[in-house]
Amino acid sequence: MKLLQFIPIKLTMLLVLGILTGYYLDTGIIGPIILTLLSLTVLGYLFFSKKVTNAFTFGGVTAITTLFIGVMIIGVAQPKNYADHYSNQHTSEIGEWKLKVTEVLKSSTFSNRFIADVVALNTKKVSGKIILSQAIDSTQKSLEVDDELVVLTHKTEITHPLNPHQFNYKDYLEKQGIYDQLKLNNQNTLVLENPKKTLFGATATLRNNIRTSLQKAGFGENEFGIIQALFLGQRNDITDATYTAYKNAGAVHILAVSGLHIGILLLFLQFLLRPMEMLPKGKTLKLITIVILLWGFALLAGLSASVVRAVTMFSFVAYALYLNRPSNTFNILALSMFFILLVIDPMLLFHVGFQMSYAAVFAIVWIFPLLQKFWYPKNWLVNKVWQLLSVSIAAQIGVLPISLFYFHQFPGLFFISNLLIIPFLGFILGLGIIVIALVVIDFAPEELITVYNYIIGLMNGIIDWVAQQEAFIFWNIPFDPVQVILTYAFLIALIWVLNSFTFRRLSIALFCVIAIQFWSIYQLYQTKNIEELLVAHQTKNTIIMHRSGPHLTVFTQDSITSKNLVEDYAVGEHITTHSFKPLSNAYAIDGRKLTISDSLGISLKTIDSLDYMVLTQSPKINLERLLDSLNPKILIADGSNYRSYIQRWETTCLQKNIPFHYTGTKGAFKLKLE
């Protein structure tokens, strides 16, 4: 099937290209708007002109216009580009912030976290979203959606990760239009009475009422967390162990109210409402009813970005089923993506869930028919198992490059999880809706609650068993953006070959394989020729890493707490082996001397000169005398030191004109070695 023959697919690809161009070039708003208006004017002239227009010319102008629209909408979608955004206002160190809570996030160990709209700053009306961090305090009531408050404080910029290849939370939030955070406490926060209610607040209240009813019903802790995730879109009560098990089993998509759930719900409604087709204009009435019910479920689940995306996509899929023309499926999917990016939010393009949802659905629509051609069992049961397995394989092929890029692991037994759970997920969701409805009206039989609790527990047990087969989980797989592009190019070429074999298509597939191999060889060459020293940042611990080609030596006294940091760095830098060694007081690497001064201090008699000094564990030293005696090229302080010491040391180094590097603000200290 020649996908590029479909006009919606061409336009969607151009829109995506425009969004990427506008985002990474940071083109702003004014320029793209002018260019878009000019191109629309030319396009309108060509369309309405009585003169015969060359098809190539009209197509070219249409392509350029779509590209400019993509550049424009990404500029419009970024809050910082607006003059009334709070970040563009001149503010004092401490401002008076008026806020309205819009979303409750998962709490950390020490604080509750929320997203709020900024209504006013220093009595001036402004716009923007901001993170609120509220210390967990038994005397302070946690905030809820729709709460309005006034806070006297200063904003804190969300920082970049302090160590290489760690999760970039700042970048993640920026792609949601959030740039700063406010820290709340009893002294600086006033919660206003009688806040204005919104639709989001009403649905949040409904979810809280359902949650309270479920808690009273007596479900188990793990089962309660899963039920919330399945029906309310809330994963806050899922334990870390349960979430890790689902992730390792390749079934984490079950926990997110997104494409899978909405798709199953769509099929369930298609079956349930089939009698409506016998009515006059019944098919149209059925379509309208299904779309309304899907959006009602989205409203109950909180209208999160993932839910809105999934319901929008499957609303278009419902229309495709209504037309009953399979050849239009690709068109409908492309149109749904075009609509979501153009009308709802172009920033969704950068969300992992958006990318994986469309990759999975496109792969299922494209690859599933090919797998069915290879084998079509006559036995009904075997055929159904093969269909389910084919869908799972197709979806996994579609999301594999994205999954490796973001998560660097591959669950080898994903098909077992899906084979054992997905066939019954429709039943689990359907029965769950009935159970929740009965629980809310306090009419649920205890036996029904016990049975449903057992079913959810059984599902958790199956997932946990699959996750325990660690030999089939492939961890820490390095995968970069170039590999993502080359792998998708190979998969597309391979599907073309399997769909219709020609020498040209085979040549393209083989060329992609060669390109992947060349890139891997280039990475190995680059890795072998790199040597560097890195002083990492970690609270209450000192970590010094010496990289020599593909091997990493980690010097630390606590290898357990440093494991994740080291693995992130090793995966990002294509390190194949690493080892842990205890810290020493002095190192000589590549002719350069590095000394560590810890809480025991340092003996000046043993040192004649040095290049770098690392201060750890808040040593009680006379820094001025130390600097005068040794005159290091740079002084480095890691995250194991007291903040008060850091400020004093920085002042001393400034007076002595010696560079000072604190990993808590500047990030890990990296030194390239020859």
What DSSP string runs through 121-146? ETTEE-B-EEEEEEE--TTSPPP-TT
Query: In this predicted structure, which of 143-152, 361-370, 566-575 has the lowest mean pLDDT?
Result: 361-370
What is the model's pLDDT at position 440? 87
Residue given tokens 């030191």 in the structure block: 641
3-state secondary structure of 49: coil
What per-residue string of b and e applies to 251-289 under the rule 16 or more CB within 10 Å gives b? bbbbbbbbbbbbbbbbebbeeebeebeeeeeeeeebbee
What is the model's pLDDT at position 186? 85
What is the model's pLDDT at position 9? 87
Q: What is the phi-psi region of residue 97: left when phi exceeds 0, alpha when psi lies from -120 to 50, beta otherwise?
A: beta
Beta partners for residue 129, in sequence order = 117, 178
Cα separation, 134 vs 110, in Å, equals 9
Q: Report whether pLDDT(34) > 90.
A: yes
Q: Report whether pLDDT(484) > 80.
A: yes
Q: Average pLDDT in the 134-153 region?
A: 85
Query: How far is residue 334 from each of residues 18, 69, 196, 324, measured CA to CA in Å?
Result: 16, 16, 38, 17
Q: Report whether pLDDT(602) > 70.
A: no
pLDDT tier for residue 137 given thresholds of 50, 70 and 90: confident
Residue given tokens 């015969």 in the structure block: 52
Helices (H), 468-607: 481-499, 503-528, 563-572
User: What's the CA dihedral at 175, 7, 398, 15 to 10 degrees?
Assistant: -10
Structure tokens at 193: 């009475």
User: Which is higher by pLDDT, 23 or 607?
Assistant: 23
Of 17-21, 59-63, 241-245, 372-376, the range with the highest mean pLDDT is: 17-21
What is the model's pLDDT at position 652? 93
What is the model's pLDDT at position 315? 86
pLDDT tier for residue 335 given thresholds of 50, 70 and 90: confident
What is the model's pLDDT at position 3? 62
What is the model's pLDDT at position 51? 61
Query: In this predicted structure, which of 2-6, 162-166, 290-294, 414-418 has the lowest mean pLDDT?
Result: 2-6
What is the model's pLDDT at position 56? 77
Q: How many CB atoms lie within 10 A of CB 101?
A: 22
Q: Report whether pLDDT(327) > 60.
A: no
| Residue range 38-65, pLDDT digits in tens | 999 998 888 887 665 677 788 889 999 9
Q: Average pLDDT in the 102-106 region?
A: 88
Q: Report whether pLDDT(318) > 70.
A: yes
| Residue range 513-527, pLDDT digits in tens | 999 999 999 999 988
Q: Report whether pLDDT(574) > 80.
A: yes
What is the model's pLDDT at position 88? 87
pLDDT tier for residue 360 given thresholds of 50, 70 and 90: confident
Q: Average pLDDT in the 335-342 region?
A: 90
Q: Report whether pLDDT(181) > 70.
A: yes
Q: Report whether pLDDT(2) > 70.
A: no
Helix orientation angle between 221-232 and 446-467, rounded to the nearest 10 degrees: 90
Are the beta carbons of 25 and 351 closer than 8 angstroms? Answer: no
Q: Report whether pLDDT(150) > 90.
A: yes
Largest CA distance in the chain: 98
User: Which is higher by pLDDT, 559 or 138?
Assistant: 559
Using DSSP bridges, classify how beta strands 543-548 and 551-556 pair: parallel, antiparallel or unpaired.
antiparallel
Q: Report whether pLDDT(605) > 70.
A: no
Query: How far is residue 507 from each of residues 485, 497, 513, measured CA to CA in Å?
Result: 18, 9, 10
Q: Average pLDDT in the 135-153 region?
A: 85
Cα separation, 316 vs 327, in Å, equals 14
Among the listed residues 96, 157, 94, 92, the one whose alpha carbon sits nearest the alpha carbon of residue 125: 96
215: Cα within 13 Å, side-chain hemisphere: 7
What is the model's pLDDT at position 459? 92
Cβ-based burial of 584 (10 A; exposed 0-12, middle 13-18, buried ≥19) = exposed
Of 119-128, 224-233, 360-369, 606-615, the range with the highest mean pLDDT is: 119-128
What is the model's pLDDT at position 674? 66
pLDDT tier for residue 100 given thresholds of 50, 70 and 90: very high
For the chain, what percent of residues have pLDDT higher than 70? 95
Three-class SS of 294-312: HHHHHHHCCCCHHHHHHHH
Geometric angle at alpha carbon 259, from 321 and 270, rounded to 5°: 35
What is the model's pLDDT at position 608? 59
| Residue range 628-644, pLDDT digits in tens | 888 888 999 999 999 99
For the chain, what percent of residues have pLDDT higher than 90? 38
pLDDT tier for residue 279 given thresholds of 50, 70 and 90: confident
Which residues, at least 6 apart from 280, have a Cβ–Cβ distance to it below 8 Å? none
Handedness of CA 391, 394, 396, 402 (dihedral sign): negative
Structure tokens at 16: 């995506």
What is the model's pLDDT at position 611? 83
Q: Report whether pLDDT(601) > 70.
A: no
Q: Report whether pLDDT(598) > 80.
A: no
Residue given tokens 């390109």 in the structure block: 515
What per-residue string of b and e applies to 500-523 under the rule 16 or more CB within 10 Å gives b? eeeeebeebbeebeeebeeeeeeb
Query: How far is residue 628 from each of residues 396, 586, 596, 622, 657, measured CA to CA in Å?
Result: 62, 19, 17, 10, 11
What DSSP string runs through 103-122? EEPPP-SSEEEEEEEEEEET
User: Which is higher by pLDDT, 625 or 34?
Assistant: 34
Q: Average pLDDT in the 422-449 region?
A: 86
| Residue range 225-256, pLDDT digits in tens | 888 888 887 777 788 888 888 888 888 878 87
What is the model's pLDDT at position 510? 95
Q: How many CB atoms lie within 10 A of CB 549?
A: 14
| Residue range 78-96, pLDDT digits in tens | 998 898 999 888 666 788 9
Cα separation, 159 vs 182, in Å, equals 13
Q: Average pLDDT in the 400-429 region?
A: 85
pTM assigned to the model: 0.86
Geometric angle at alpha carbon 12, from 11 and 18, rounded to 5°: 90
